[in-house]
Structure 1
Amino acid sequence: MPISHGRFRLAMLGAALGCLATALAIRAVAPLGSWAEQSSGTALYASMTWAGVRFLGPRLGPLTAGGIALAWCWGAELFQLTGIPAALSADSLAARLVLGAAFDPVDLIWYPIGIVPLVIAHHRRGVTR
């Protein structure tokens, strides 16, 4: 039985908030600058972005949403090279959470790690919306 757009959007909102809560919880207990704190946060940011894209576009397929989420993540990371996100992040926690502050080329690898498993899981489950 197909899931309604409303229920699907609610599930994606819950997934995005769950990713955010998990990332913040890991950040609260992991040593500052540790692999767990940095890499898990990056992958969970990407997962949250994918869920956000699916929330905003419930008719998008998992692969399309994955491409949009990856483009956003990579774009935000490359935007950090300009220094603008760092300046905005100095005064705003929201800007820091959305745009980050400093470019890290390793993050470019962790974004697909956060997105690809979700795309595969939804594709295998036959979730096309």
Structure 2
Amino acid sequence: MPLSTRTTRVIALASAAVILAIALALRAAFDGPVEQHSGTALYASMVYAGGYVLWPRLSPLAAGAVAVAFCWLVECSQLTGVPAYLSGRSLLGRLALGVQFDPLDLLWYPVGVLPLAAAHWLLRRRAYPRSAVSGKVQA
């Protein structure tokens, strides 16, 4: 049975909160590359989940593409110095925009999005069986 738009939004918001908690716990427990790369992947996961708060009817492929594109846009904007300027004035700005460009982050964003998109695709497939989409009646 398909989920309502409201239920989808609540699940997405709860998922984003869980992802944020995991990211903060990893940040507190580790230092160095684990902290950096897990934070990058989890940031992308939050963007994916946040996309469902705003647009709950997005397909997993579209949501994944939008999330990765948004993350890449934010990362590339760090080349301008504007995020660094805003990050120096606001903790929220630093968390949302970062400080400096890291080309390795461009690879870690899809790592954060792909598992969620795959899980979402599988859940959606269960909710909407192929026969229901094609109009065939199951025996």
1:53 aligned partner: 51
From 91, 100, 103, give the equivalent of 2:101: 103
In structure 2, C-alpha distance between the alignment counterparts of 1:19 and 1:103, rounded to whole Å: 23
What letter is aligned with 2:7? R
Q: CA deviation at 1:72?
A: 0.5
Quote the Cα distance in structure 2 between the aligned partners of 1:81 and 1:41: 20
Q: Secondary structure at the match of 2:88?
A: helix
Give the aligned partner of residue 124 of structure 1: 122
CA RMSD of aligned residues (A): 1.5
Gapped regions of structure 2 (runs ≥ 5): 129-139
Question: What is the TM-score when the length of structure 1 is the normalising length?
Answer: 0.93
2:70 is aligned to: 72
User: Match of 1:66, SS?
Assistant: helix
Give the alignment's TM-score, normalised by structure 2. Answer: 0.87
**Paired position in structure 1 for 2:27:** 27
Q: Which residue of 1 aligns with 2:87?
A: 89
Q: CA deviation at 1:3?
A: 1.1
Higher Rg of the two aligned structures? 2
Q: Structure 1, residues 88-129: CA drift from partner, whole Å, max 9, x if none?
A: 001101111111111000000000000011111111222589
Instruction: Tell me what 2:40 maps to.
Output: 42
Q: Which runs of 5+ in 1 are unaligned?
A: none
> Which contiguous aligned blocks of 4+ residues in structure 1 show a shift greater than 4 angstroms?
none
Identity %: 52
